[in-house]
């Protein structure tokens, strides 16, 4: 029954001779252009950096929230945007509409 679903439609199998790693990186770069994937990457980055710096602050005797605030400063435009503007522009664009329209 499933073979009849593709009748009259050209089915193209993507062929690649670049190798597994090149296929993986191409797929990853293509998939990260989707707004939902970008949002997920942003959330994961923020949570990981906040947890890491919170843990470090707890180890040196400071409250966890101090490390989380430092993470917000580090990931914001004051430090990440100043020293790594390309990475900051990719991970945190001005709006998701920029990524949707391109």
Alpha helices in the chain (DSSP H): 20-31, 35-59, 64-75, 80-83, 85-91, 96-101
Residue 38: both structure tokens together:
């970008």
CB atoms closer than 10 angstroms to residue 71? 22
Are the C-beta atoms of 99 and 35 separated by less than 8 Å? yes
Residues 6+ apart with CB under 8 A from 102: 33
pLDDT in tens, the chain (102 residues): 777 777 777 767 666 667 888 888 888 778 877 888 888 989 999 999 999 999 999 999 999 999 999 999 999 888 888 898 888 888 888 765 555 555
pTM of the complete model: 0.65
Are the C-beta atoms of 55 and 47 separated by less than 8 Å? no
């Amino acid at each position: 029954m499933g073979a009849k679903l593709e009748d009259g439609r050209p089915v193209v199998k993507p062929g690649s001779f670049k190798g597994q790693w090149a296929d993986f990186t191409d797929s990853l770069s293509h998939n990260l252009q989707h707004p939902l994937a970008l949002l997920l990457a942003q959330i994961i980055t923020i949570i990981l950096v906040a947890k890491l710096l919170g843990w470090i602050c707890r180890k040196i005797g400071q409250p966890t929230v101090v490390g989380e605030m430092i993470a917000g400063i580090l990931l914001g435009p004051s430090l990440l945007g100043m020293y790594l503007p390309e990475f900051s522009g990719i991970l945190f664009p001005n709006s998701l509409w920029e990524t949707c329209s391109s």
